[in-house]
Amino acid sequence: MSEPILNTLDLSRHFGALRAVDAVTLEFAPGRVHAIIGPNGAGKTTLINLLSGDLKPSSGSIRFKGQDITGAPPYVVSRLGVGRSYQKTNIFPAFTCFENCWLGAQSRERTSMRFLRPARRYRSVRERTERALALCGLTERAHVVSSAISHGEQRQLEIGMMLATEPELLLLDEPLAGMGAEEAARVIGLLRELAADHTLILIEHDMDAVFAVADRLTVMVNGRVLETGDPQDIRASPAVQEAYLGSGEGGG
Ligand SMILES: Nc1ncnc2c1ncn2[C@@H]1O[C@H](COP(=O)(O)OP(=O)(O)OP(=O)(O)O)[C@@H](O)[C@H]1O
Ligand SMILES: [Mg+2]
């Protein structure tokens, strides 16, 4: 296997006595779609929060492209090339779609770019914003206030805001949550497109979506990794069947 783009070693996060993430050691291969599944409360979002720097680990370590990023704040992790989307939509409702993506594009501004003339800097941020809007399929909605677009479009915008930071690795926390079948199909198409030139870590309850896009699958239960493998092997695993897949796919 090639060098992982990201890996964790014995990564844990406790909330009081609760071990939300408990000694998780995982490797994520570059260019692949690695899905993380598991029942409600398994620790999936907490794991993403640790990887993105939104939460600090209680113990253990995280490496991204060979660099120790354990405990690094979110803006540092983002500038290194890790983007994330949130399980609960995290847009600015009073702003237009364009303005929401602009904020993402602006946040990626490198220190070195401050030496560029303001007009050039403005142009590069605007180009990143327009690229992100096109990728997430919202070019036609660019100047609509984001509180006025549909729930599905708001979820697309959430992905657009992440793409505006031009990440190499995408952390997606239930991108299909609350979507109708048609919207979900559109976003699954987008995920496949993004998979061509990004690494994806995808949390998703929709098993059809998971099996449609994932190259690799990890099952988490009670903060721990139950099993990691190829989707077909995981689907056939008796331990996984019993803990998760057998019982109506977890809901959620
Ligand atoms: N900030 C917090 N303070 C205390 N407990 C927390 C906190 N965040 C998460 N937890 C708890 O940690 C456990 C794991 O939660 P987490 O949100 O990571 O699960 P999840 O796998 O994402 O679940 P879901 O599928 O419902 O999104 C849960 O028991 C949750 O209540
Ligand atoms: Mg969650």
CA-nearest of 220, 235, 218, 164 to 39 is 220
Q: Which residue has the tokens 């690494």?
A: 199
Question: How far is ligand 1, taken at its centre, from the CA of residue 205, in Å?
Answer: 15
Top CATH class, 1-81+168-252? alpha beta
What's the confidence (pLDDT) of residue 88?
85
What's the confidence (pLDDT) of residue 120?
73
Q: What is the pLDDT along the chain (252 residues), one digit of tens a residue?
A: 579 999 999 999 999 999 999 999 999 999 999 999 999 999 999 999 999 999 999 999 999 999 999 999 999 999 999 999 988 888 999 999 999 999 999 887 765 556 667 777 778 899 999 999 999 999 999 999 999 999 889 999 999 999 999 999 999 999 998 888 888 998 999 999 999 999 999 999 888 899 999 999 999 999 999 999 999 999 888 888 887 766 544 444
What's the confidence (pLDDT) of residue 207?
86
Q: Enumerate the CATH 3.40.50.300 domain ranges in the chain, comma separated.
A: 1-81+168-252
Question: How far is ligand 2, taken at its centre, from the CA of residue 11, in Å?
Answer: 17
Residue 45 CB less than 6 A away from ligand 1: yes
Question: How far is ligand 2, taken at its centre, from the CA of residue 221, in Å?
Answer: 12
CA-nearest of 247, 196, 199 to 221 is 247
Read off the pTM.
0.91
Nearest CA to ligand 1 atom 28: 41
CA-nearest of 66, 65, 72 to 50 is 72
User: Residue 214's Cα: distance from chain center in Å?
Assistant: 13
Give the mutation target among 11, 18, 206, 224 for probing the ligand 1 site: most ligand atoms within 8 A of CB.
Answer: 18
Residue 40 CB less than 6 A away from ligand 1: yes
Residue 44 CB less than 6 A away from ligand 1: yes
CA-nearest of 19, 27, 16 to 51 is 27
Residue 41 CB less than 6 A away from ligand 1: yes
Question: How far is ligand 1, taken at its centre, from the CA of residue 227, in Å?
Answer: 20
- Using CB atoms within 10 A of its CB, is residue 143 exposed (0-12), middle (13-18) or buried (19+)? exposed
CA-nearest of 73, 38, 71, 51 to 5 is 51
What is the rounded CA–CA span in Å between residue 146 and residue 132? Answer: 15
Question: How far is ligand 2, taken at its centre, from the CA of residue 13, in Å?
Answer: 14
What is the rounded CA–CA span in Å between residue 156 and residue 184? Answer: 10
Residue 46 CB less than 6 A away from ligand 1: yes
Give the mutation target among 36, 40, 46 for probing the ligand 1 site: most ligand atoms within 8 A of CB.
Answer: 46
- Using CB atoms within 10 A of its CB, is residue 29 exposed (0-12), middle (13-18) or buried (19+)? middle
- Using CB atoms within 10 A of its CB, is residue 144 exposed (0-12), middle (13-18) or buried (19+)? middle
What's the confidence (pLDDT) of residue 118?
73
Question: How far is ligand 1, taken at its centre, from the CA of residue 223, in Å?
Answer: 9
What's the confidence (pLDDT) of residue 242?
83
Give the mutation target among 37, 44, 210 for probing the ligand 1 site: most ligand atoms within 8 A of CB.
Answer: 44
Question: How far is ligand 2, taken at its centre, from the CA of residue 124, in Å?
Answer: 34
Q: Which residue has the tokens 């401050």?
A: 114
The continuous run of DSSP H or E covering 201 comes out as: strand 199-203
Task: Decide if 231 contacts 209 (C-beta within 8 A).
Answer: no
Q: Is 197 helix (H, G, I), strand (E, B) or coil?
A: coil
